[in-house]
Amino acid sequence: MSAGDRSAWSFGEDLRLRKEGDLRLLLGGQVHNSSSSSTASIRQSFAHARDLHANTVLAPVSWALTEPREGEFDFTLVNTMIEEARSRGLHLVLLWFGAFKNAASTYAPRWVRADQTRFPRAVVHAKTRGSAFHYSGVMPTPVLSVFSEALRDADATAFEAFIAHLAEVDRTDAVALVQVENESGILRDSRDRSDLAEEAWRRDVPAALIAAAREGEEGSLLRTLWAEAGRREAGTWADVFGDGSGADEIFMAWSIASYVQHLAERGQAVKQIPMYANAWLGPQPGQDEPGEWPSGGPSSRVIDVWRAAAPSLSLVGPDIYVDDADSAMRTYATGSQPFFVPESRLRAGELVRAIGTYRAVGWSGFGFDGANPEGQVAAVLAYLTAFEMEIAQAQRSQRIGAVVVEQGAPPAEATVGDLTVSGRGLSDIVRDFLLDVGVQLPDEALPVPDETLPREPVPTPGEHRPFALIFAVDDDELVVIGQGVKLDFAAPQGSVEVDAVVELLLDEGRVVPGRVLNGDERLQVVPVDRVGAARVTLLRVS
């Protein structure tokens, strides 16, 4: 255990996040990468986060702006972020964009990038098809070698100074978490081929990694390659894991995670604040080889390597931009570490899935300063932040769930305590009900607002899938937050019927009761045309 000052924030043995012992959820989003590079944009983007009903904002800290000349540190922007978060009642998650961001090194200072003798570059043989950041005909971006001890020590010195500054100025602990580097790894090849990397490849595999392979989960890449190579207890990387691209990915994962561990250890010796790493997902559809996603980053095949090499991290979390967000969450929400979504597309269904199905301690939509305050994500966040304590308690007692109804799929199911909750699309049910009484509605789907503002470069449409978060606030007393979904409840013994439904409204951030719903109006426990909430009391009939 390090000797640094303790943060008020911590993860308990139950993997729940607490501040000064009280359960907390981090609900909000990450501002655009450059939004924390000036005082004016910090103020504007943080104010917008409050307009979106968030309780948390994630924002980058650039090494290049923090240490423009070696040994000279400027934390003016960090101070502004802390002051703005504190004044607006926001929790703050700071992202250290050091030597590695999106598998490149554009946030490293000029004095680092200009000295290739002291800070050598990574070398790749361009074996893969490239990526969104490296492709034919485009100027290459700098990629430093993670095997440079000089780079590691310079990065760690700056990171340590950053954490020391937090220990000095953040006396109310506005900063909940710190991310170490960002979407690290190497693209276009399965490993770095520089002289420093080749020298490391020829060294013996650390005993701690061999132990992790020996004790690892059957079927994992680490254990599989170790077994196929003869279950060796010592030897070079090729001896122990073979010489294929999978061995390369394990080699890079251990090396990058060890680099991150060095920074985390240095920082936590000053202030024991929870730290984590985020993952650019891989493999993805159409991507079969490491390097098509950042090889060595904390992707799905090497999460166990990262956990072995970087024990000072509280968790690794997925950045979710894929359509199949459910599978991505399932991969990282293993129950062995806390689950947090550092970046996500602005999708209300995936927000409730993260909090309800996978009991995430937090969720962050990316490009938050470009999100629509009239969108569904903002509407869901308004209810989630109002019910933060109740939701956190329900997560802890496992009396929470979520349903997201996919088009053409059977009803979605969730377990809330001992109840089974089934969700179906409400529009079709309402349409059929009205047909029974002679009213015909058009077949067009109801319009939903875009999740992004018109100026955003990548528009994000609203959520057409019916969705709901369901959590217990007492025995057989549930709160439902969602849109367009019809819920049915079943118990393991006897039958269950709805006893009472009260709609829940928001009044300046407080939840207040609305109408008492009965009769056919109980079809719409939550609205079909907007996000809403209700308190549902059940009656068990034996």
| Residue 520 confidence (pLDDT) | 86
The rounded mean pLDDT for the chain is 95
Collapsing DSSP to helix, strand or coil, 390 comes out as: helix
Q: pLDDT digits over 190-238, tens only?
A: 999 999 999 999 999 999 999 999 999 999 999 999 999 999 999 999 9
15-20 average pLDDT score: 98
Q: pLDDT digits over 366-381, tens only?
A: 999 999 999 999 999 9
Amino acid code (one letter) for 324: D
Provide φ and ψ at 136, rounded to 5°: -60, 135
Instruction: Evaluate if residue 132 carries a pLDDT over 60.
Output: no
Task: Report the half-sphere exposure of 70 (CA within 13 A, side-chain side).
Answer: 12
Residues with Cβ within 8 Å of residue 506, at least 6 apart in sequence: 382, 383, 386, 512
413-434 average pLDDT score: 86
Confidence of residue 438 (pLDDT cuts 50, 70, 90): low
Instruction: Evaluate if residue 261 carries a pLDDT over 90.
Output: yes
Instruction: Evaluate if residue 390 carries a pLDDT over 60.
Output: yes
Instruction: Evaluate if residue 357 carries a pLDDT over 80.
Output: yes
| Residue 136 confidence (pLDDT) | 58
Confidence of residue 437 (pLDDT cuts 50, 70, 90): low
Q: What is the dihedral of CA 74, 77, 83, 89, to 10 degrees?
A: -140
Record the pTM: 0.95
The CA distance from 251 to 241, in Å, is 9
The CA distance from 485 to 526, in Å, is 7
279-305 average pLDDT score: 96
The CA distance from 206 to 202, in Å, is 12
Burial 89-105 (b: 16+ CB within 10 A, else e): ebbbbbbbbbbbbbbbb
Which is it for the CA torsion 229, 230, 236, 241, positive or negative?
A: positive
Confidence of residue 542 (pLDDT cuts 50, 70, 90): confident
More confident residue, 1 or 384: 384
Confidence of residue 66 (pLDDT cuts 50, 70, 90): very high
In sequence order, the β-bridge partners of residue 501 are 517, 536
